[in-house]
Structure 1
Amino acid sequence: MTLSLHERIRTDIESAILSGKLAPEDRLPVEHELMQTYQCSRMTVNKALSALAAAGLIERRKGAGSFVGRPHAHSMILDVPDLPVEVAKRGHVYGYQLLVRKLRAAARGNAEEELLAGGRRLLQLDGLHFADGAPLAVERRLVSLAAVPAIAEADLEKEPPGTWLLRHVPWTEAETRISAVPADAEIARLLKTPAGTACLLVERQTWRSSERITAVRQYFLGTAYHLVARFGSSRP
């Protein structure tokens, strides 16, 4: 999938912010400079800058220009984990297999998918995580191409989607839900366990300001996943 020009401008600026080339409060090139650099119209530049502002990455100040925004602080009991890192911390060898990669529309009548899609198509990514060569988790992920157009061209055979997103897309909010479910026939086949085996289902959505980035469902064998949270007392 080839990026449109306004998506390429947005992706280039976003990459510069994430890499540290552009720091908080740095001023972006003015609109006419971007128009010259990309040989495009003011409307195209404005569309890219508006998307960056909506995502909370830049601030557009009337009469002054556009500036890199300050990162939003977040405090969560459950952070967004990077599975390869977590597996390595436990002393195991991580592996990943991409099973399904396809562009599709939001399922008709599915309000959550329609909100995630934002009027564009979704990238569906199904995969299997391994620890020491044994199946660890089945992952079913949807990514908003409206929010993350660059992922359409990413090499996700070598790097799992969750890791790629953590490296390239800053998030400001996340919602995690964990429940116990029996493995259906397909999940059981992939995890190499009998159907009906107890699994932990981790469902997570992430946002960048008000923009939805991704929704993922991960099925772990009940014996392979540990939830640990450490709390401080709210008492004085």
Structure 2
Amino acid sequence: MTETRLDAVKLDGAGPVYDQIRRAIRDLVVSGEWQPGTSVPPEHALMEQLGASRMTVHRALVQLAREGLIIRRRRSGTVVATPPASHAMLDILSIPEEVRQLGQAYAYEVLARTDGRPSPEVAELFGLKRSDKVAHLLVVHRADGKPHVLEERVIHVAGVTGLSDEDFAGTPPGDWLLQHSLWSQAEHAISAIGAGEEQAALLDIAVGEPCLLVERRTWNQLQPVTAVRLLYPGFRHRFVGRFGPYGAA
């Protein structure tokens, strides 16, 4: 098991101390400086190094565990968690990368965002409880200036830190989530539907035009992270996966 340098945990002085500790350790994990399996310093060592109380350090580590970044074991100590693997058609796709692989220029626009409790229509569409707190976004992604895919997404506030401060001006929501959250389970479905009036206008296609609808939900342990509906004009897209008898190839 790899040991960590305690002095690598540096506080930035912004906000509550427990959140500074959480961010400092999180940045070390996300940046790759602390690799999966790395031993996280024990609470007493962090207390002494950072001048923080046991309760403050404990709160930071509990939150990191909830985010899936670390695993806490009573006897063997705390270690950096191993990110889950993804496979073939179940990949969590980066739409910008998808467009670039086509040799086209990528652009996107956040058309709408609502934070708070979902409307009855959004709750029904995504299977949410009315008490859930989410960010609801509508985004159009373009390839060479033409609509590539229409994204409608909800992000659970409780499952993603830093969401309230992010405006997605520089990074589309899907890629931002890949960089700032972890997932341990995903549900993925593809179906065919006709474009509705609003969808057709945003995708620059005829009403009723056949589309591919990709629906995906992700969780981190039992905590829901996000649910998204990606609507692709059917005549412009197809999904291809290569696999063998033992899985993806």
Q: TM-score, normalised to structure 2's length?
A: 0.80
Letter in 2 for 1:182: G
Give the AA of the match of 1:131.
A
RMSD of the TM alignment (CA)?
2.8
Match of 2:10?
none
1:18 aligns with 2:33: no
Q: Which amino acid aligns with 2:204?
A: K
How does 1:66-145 map onto structure 2 within 5 Å?
66-75=78-87, 77-107=89-119, 110=124, 112-114=127-129, 121-145=133-157
Q: How far did residue 4 of structure 1 move?
A: 6.4
1:184-195 equivalence runs, <5 A = 184-195=196-207
Q: Which amino acid aligns with 1:222?
A: G
Contact 2:142-2:149 within 8 A present in 1 as well: yes
Contact 2:157–2:163 (CA under 8 A) maintained in structure 1:
yes
1:60 to 59, 62, 72: 72
Q: Which range moves more in the overlay, 215-224 or 28-37? A: 28-37
Aligned to 2:7: none
Query: Deviation of residue 44 (structure 1)?
Result: 4.1
Residues in 2 aligned to 1:203 and 1:197: alpha-carbon distance in whole angstroms: 18
Identity of aligned residues (%): 37
Q: 1:227 to 1:4 in 2, by over 3 A?
A: farther
**TM superposition shift of 1:129:** 0.4
Alpha-carbon deviation of 1:29? 3.5
Residues 110-155 of structure 1 deviation map (CA, whole Å, 9 limit, x = unaligned): 58323xx9x7621112110001000111111111111112122224
Is residue 36–residue 81 contact of structure 2 (8 Å, CA) maintained in 1?
Answer: yes
TM-score by length of 1: 0.84
Partner of 1:47 in structure 2? 59
> Which stretches in structure 2 are left out of the alignment for 5+ residues?
1-13
In the alignment, structure 1 residue 161 sits paired with structure 2 residue 173:
yes
1:193 alignment partner AA: I
* 1:199 matched to 2:219: no
Q: Deviations over 1:13-38 (max 9, x none)?
A: 22321111212232324335555777
Structure 1 window deviating more from structure 2 (2-11 vs 57-66): it is 2-11
Equivalenced residue count is: 230
More moved, 37-46 vs 223-232? 37-46
